[in-house]
A and B are shown apart, each in its own frame.
Chain A
Amino acid sequence: MMTEEILRVENLRTTFTTSAGEVKAVEGVSFTVNRGEVLGIAGESGSGKSATMLSIMGLLGDAGRISYDSLSFMGENLTPESVKSIRGDKIAMIFQDPMTSLNPVLSVGYQLEEALRRHKWQGNIHGRVAEMMTRVGIVPADERMRQYPHEFSGGQRQRLMIAMSILCSPELLIADEPTTALDVTVQAQILGLLREIRKDTGMSMILITHDLGVIAGESDRVIVMYGGRIMEEGTSREIFGSPSHPYTRGLLHSLPKADGKRERLIPIEGQPPDLLNPPEGCPFVKRCNEAMRICLRRKPEALTLSETHKYSCWKGAEESC
């Protein structure tokens, strides 16, 4: 199969100015998304995974400053102006909390129709909304369009957000922790629904989550972020089968064994990174049990293990010398 690149991000940097000082939320992140694939972005709080996506979508507002070498979607450069017409149309987003993503005083039908009007949909707007609501299993659509967000359960609200996101047949869906607020059985329903939609439409997806189980089940390729940087990237098999960065290995070791063997967990010691005072070198250095002196002073470059598998660590650089 020919891989066709639809999103390219090169050397993205995002900085927030706070009263306590400058926070470098994203520091030189580069990646691509191919047509039809699911790119999983794994990371803990403060890793920069959401800030990366908000930067690309131009949703940071005045709070953040961004810079990049290149940012393009389907061959066209994305500018703060052009992203406005693409957002919600060719690139759609869904968020963790479906309650705050919907306006409580407008009927859900009105809100979904509004999305189509915003993008000057040619055709039967009511019919299209009903079709997509039915597609995500909110039936009878005509009746339920008149209801308000509070009349839906958490899982149904996330279905509504999915319906809204696919109204304009996007090429790329960015799902930021789409199932984190949901119970596991509802999570399974929502992930299954997204899988069906991708199969039908060939849509690509960026799946951002801290849940490594969800990442493993859904992603073709995976990026692991920490302290605003990409620590490791590879195919799902590479990341889970032969994790190479000490952080990725640490994350996987800290989970209970899937076969139920009650071995003691191996946590990553220390505290999450302090973004206000990041170390000069590798962001993970303070918690890494393989850290060397150079890790404190200089940021490691990415090492290539295969065409798809890369990681940034001085330990590996030393071994490959």
Chain B
Amino acid sequence: MLTVEGLTKYFHTQSGTVHSVDGVSLTVSRGETLGLVGESGCGKTTTGRTIIRLYEPDKGCIIFDGHDITHMNQRELLPFRKRIQMIFQDPYASLNPRMTAGDIIREPMIVHHVPKDEHTDRVNHLLKLVGLNTEQAGRYPHEFSGGQRQRIGIARALAAEPEMIICDEPISALDVSIQAQIVNMLEDLQKSLGLTYLFIAHDLSMVRHISTRVAVMYLGSIVEIAGSDELYTNPLHPYTVSLLSSVPIPDPEKSSQRKIIPLKGEIPSAINPPSGCKFHTRCPNAKPECKTITQILQDKGNNHLCACPFV
């Protein structure tokens, strides 16, 4: 459904060029959820935003359903914008405070020329679909809780009847008890509407729960991609191993038994990323040749791709 090849996005700042996304390649099949994880600044959000051309890519190509959308102009892009929608992390900042919930959900219908007489019915249908009342259509964002606002954001994304949704940290700003509500709803919508998700998050246990496959990013590059269970039970890349060992476990006994493999030092700057394998400066198994190798994802069997040649 979606193929991304060598996607690269640099930002030019006063202090230098930030290598936010540096040659990311991935595929997402119809109906699946690809989880994209990594720590702050690894480029996962920029990847998501560049895929839907909120940022212009510097290199690489984006193929959606057989069409190369990398260099399309805004007019050519419009039908694809309808097919790929996005939901955002912050349900406070991503809704216009001066529009009612109903108007927010209606806006994509106006953009995508849905006949006007259908709007109200569709808004009501969408509100019910995301678990809100139709009477709430006239309320403003500040009258809703964080979880309800995220539901409005999801209804807005669904208003365009997309085939794919890029979910950028959709649950990070929500309380634990509300997160499960939203995750269940995303799973139900995926089943009933046949949606495909790119699920960007840093909560590794929730990503395992929701994803078919998971990609791990470090400093702008994907270091490992595998089926969700395969990645979590058999991580290969030293970064993934360390990352997964750091995830807190809500069980005091299991927590005291496991061994954390700590990462040394700080994440290097994306302005001057290390040469060769970008993880070599912090890798517990680094060898001299790691400074010069090219990071390429290799299939280690079982559709498990890993960028480290030594595992």
Contacts and interface: CB of A to CB of B under 8 A. Distances in A.
Given A155-B266, A183-B40, A188 B246 contact: yes
Ranked nearest first, the 4 interchain pairs of A and B with the lowest CB-CB distance are: A213-B248, A267-B180, A256-B209, A254-B180
A256 B260 contact: no
Best-buried of A44, A188, A252 by chain B (most CB within 10 Å):
A188
B253 A237 contact: yes
B243 A185 contact: yes
B262 A188 contact: yes
Interface string A249-287: 011111111101010111111011000000000000001
A141 interface: no
Nearest to B173: A45
Contacts of A213: 205, 247-250, 255
Contact of B178 (A156, A240, A267): A267
A255 to B, nearest CB: 6
10 contacts: A44-B175, A45-B146, A185-B246, A186-B39, A188-B246, A210-B175, A217-B256, A240-B250, A256-B209, A267-B177
B66 interface: no
Interface string B263-282: 10011000000000000000
Interface string A179-203: 0000111111100100000000000
Contact of B252 (A216, A250, A264, A267): A216
A217 B180 CA distance: 22
A216 B255 contact: yes
B294 interface: no
Contacts of A186: 39
Contact of A256 (B39, B206, B255): B206
Contacts of B147: 271-272
A242 interface: no
B239 to A, nearest CB: 9
Contacts of B246: 184-185, 187-188
B249 A216 contact: yes
Interface string A284-297: 00010000000000
Contact of A260 (B39, B148, B233, B256): B233
B165 to A, nearest CB: 19
B134 interface: no
Contact of B39 (A183, A237, A255, A257): A183
**Chain B, interface size: which category?**
35 or more
A265 B180 contact: yes
A212 interface: yes
Nearest to A192: B262
Interface string A157-191: 00000000000000000000000000111111100
A231 B187 CA distance: 31
B178 A216 contact: no
Contacts of B249: 213, 216-217, 258
Contact of A269 (B146, B181, B248, B251): B181
B287 interface: no
Given A183-B202, A267-B184, A271-B148, A252 B250 contact: yes
Interface in B213-268: 228-229, 232-233, 242-243, 245-256, 260, 262-263, 266-267
B184 A217 contact: no
Interface in B109-129: none
Contacts of A254: 176-177, 179-180
Nearest to A211: B248
Best-buried of B205, B232, B255 by chain A (most CB within 10 Å):
B255
B283 interface: no
Nearest to B145: A271
Contacts of B260: 188, 192
Contacts of B39: 183-186
A189 B242 CA distance: 12
A55 interface: no
B251 to A, nearest CB: 6
A155 B41 CA distance: 14
A248 to B, nearest CB: 11
A214 interface: yes
B59 interface: no
A101 B228 CA distance: 39
Contacts of A255: 176, 180, 205, 250
A266 B180 contact: yes
B208 interface: yes
